[in-house]
Structure 1
Amino acid sequence: MTLPEETTPAPAVDGATAQAMFAVLQQRAAALGITLRNPPPEPTTCCGRGCNGCVWEGFLSAAEYWRQEALLQLQD
């Protein structure tokens, strides 16, 4: 999935949108010769019960931090 250069990927809401967002920003960075740090790995320990403080909440927070950091690097 590629987006036009002027489109900023939205924050991730699940694993699939996070992976798509990572891919878009990594492609843009590669085209500009910029190396981004590796995105956070998806959790593998979710029990699926919707726990308060689910590992997916932490992942999505880390994914948003990574997105913001990547966007700052791509601004330069």
Structure 2
Amino acid sequence: MAVSLGYYETLMSCSGSSTSSELNTEEKELAGISPGLVRMSVGYIGALEQRWSQLEKALSRMQEPSSLHKY
């Protein structure tokens, strides 16, 4: 299930709380959608190295204790 695959842009989403939020807990479990699942669709604009760098930066920021309460 996907509302958007990002077209030519790179798109990241937390599937459990966004595109699959209409599913109940059992349906999510059967589909393999865990609470922390992040879905990434890589677009074709920009260099792969740029996308990889952005992903590494995002993952690094998620590990910072202070980032847990910012959003």
When normalised by structure 1's length, the TM-score is 0.32
Larger helix proportion of the pair: 1
Larger strand proportion of the pair: 2
When normalised by structure 2's length, the TM-score is 0.33
Larger Rg: 2
